[in-house]
Structure 1
Amino acid sequence: MTRTGPLPAGPAAGTAAVLRAVRDGRPRTRAELAAETGLARSTVAERVEALLESGLVRRADNGRSTGGRPPSMYAFNPAARTVLAVDVGARHLRIAVTDLVGEVLTEGYRAQDVTDGPRAVLERVCELAASLLAASGRDTADLLGIGIGLPGPVEHASGRPTNPPIMPGWDGFDVPGFVRDRLGAVTLVDNDVNAMALGEHRTHWPHRPDLIFVKAATGIGSGLISGGALHRGSQGVAGDMGHVRLQNGADAACRCGNVGCLEAVAGGAAIAARLTADGITADTSADVAALARAGSLPAVALVRGAGRAIGEVLATAVSFFNPSVIVIGGGLSQAGEHLIAGVREVVYQRSLPLATRELDIVQSLAGDRAAVRGAAFMVIERALAPDHLPELLAC
């Protein structure tokens, strides 16, 4: 693939503006690009040529003629580069190769316990990633970057896990450096729920700028989209709702060391433990969801109660954050309407009518792919932003 040299300092914003205009997939003429971006036609011509050389833009079918030669049209080229997107779960790895609009080209799934430690897990990630790239007919030279979602707190600036409760041996581990050294591409790491929130928003709710994504699985967490952007907070732990203490949480011990946390009451692991204690075998949140779908009354009651507990925390968030959509994902969300019904019951009861007038509370539409789609968008949006686009065009 042909590359162009580095952009001078001034043109970066203009090049990014042209690229942003065509990323919706609709071909445009240079005149249309000039009108949309406010750039001079000569400037647009220069920027288009740079993007054509990079492969990020391609020539499309000519536009309609108004009497002379039909004008040339230009469109975004999603196939110019690929992205590796990785979802590391408590007990699984899901890896996808995507194009530059986040569409999955190929993917793989493996059972893998995160407690095996960072080196074992990440070596497996790199092995599977290399085989998926080969299967898709691409290689590491085509990589725009690698995005990874981890099931624990991550310091966003460094990409290192920070005291992750279910990830022994991962604290402070240089995840980006380990993967980058093996696959040779920029590697970004975030909490898996942030990746899910981003993936859900970009693929299904792009016109809803304020969204809360709740992952209800072994544990409980949330990701926040504010003004269309992922909100991480000052240390990257915004949305950690699983460790909000419930009024009726009693003395339920939480893995964080406190008692009465939402996760200790309503998380999949807590519900599975209660069912098992009552003689109903359940090891995971998926087991709990399957029992509820099958009509197990104890499972249905506990899942519905978990929804009410989650709704108790979300009711406060709705009043404070005022989202227009709340998306419920994770293993427990597969229990049919039981979990979401409990959430809706409490949120609509306790929140102000104005805050809930246009509020949708729905099950995840992205499903199992939410995290890998979000991990891909994390890479794409960074690489194509004005600050980083010159790096891409210089390679």
Structure 2
Amino acid sequence: MADCDNLSAVLHRALDLRLEQRPIPEPGPGEVLLRVLCVGICGSDVHYWNHGRTARFVVESPLVLGHETAAQVVRCGPDVSHLQPGTVVALEPGVPCRRCSLCRGGRYNLCPRMRFHATPPVDGTLTRYFVHPADFCFRLPDHMSAEDGALLEPLAVAVHSCRRARVGPQSRVLVTGAGPIGQVSVLVAKAMGATHICITDINEGRLQFARKLGADSAVCVAGMGVEEAAAAVVAAGGPPTAALECSGADSSLVTAIHAADAGCVIATVGRGSLEPLLPVPLLTAKEVEICGIFRYANCYPAALALLASGAVNARQLISHRFTLEEVEEAFQAAKSGVAIKVMIKVGEKS
């Protein structure tokens, strides 16, 4: 290959992110070599960069960050027939073993041998060239941009969360947390027919942005106790029949339980503490269901259809754009809380 530039953003430890050249990989059977075009920065990327870990995953050796990805096929390995060089694709970043009972049952997101981009020790996609299994690449229609493709990953999280919470027509949905996942959850809940969407946060600016996306009501819970916050949610749009906890704050989960209608399903998208203190008698009396969310499975086709049809316009979430050479500034912007979604245009050079 004439172009031997494979600049990569490599995290060595917390706050030690370096731009390094790495060898361009070769695609094996069933794989494609990709030229990376766009990568969105996720909250987990920021945690790795800022703390060297997220949840139980710890950076113990140099790690390429990034997993929200769109790329262009450069070369196909043996046994790849449905993709051709030049095709622009979105990458589903988690590749399971395909053989265990969870994989065979369709819940491959829970596969114990899952290899997920930018989850130690698996490298991510903030690199010029990347190899990926062809069957986890999704061709983008010509009218969709590479930025749209990179946004499929957070959109898939929202699709999985809304499915698990049984969001549909006539649903009253509470979204707690107005970060990127909370914002995209508003878009997906609206596309799935929710009649009222209430979003909560402590940041008034993010709440106003969610209103522009389609949230029917927004409650700033800064300084409120959980019962006061729950009362404000109910006053804004009635008790929710589904809730998506996207903040990772234990108080938000408890607020959702207090606000919930009988039979409400609460999907825990954010990760709180290991031992939140829950009002179990209230949870029991209402028969509230709490379901965990871990990434997604079988959601990329639905997410792609939402974007391709125009039912969801996720590109409006992008607030900041950087090149790969500006990766340090990109992470600073993502950490600041000012940005909604930061996009790194890997295919462009400074």
Fold shared per TM-score above 0.5: no
TM-score, normalisation: structure 2? 0.26
Task: Name the structure where strand makes up a greater proportion of residues.
Answer: 2
The structure richer in helix per residue is: 1
Larger radius of gyration: 1
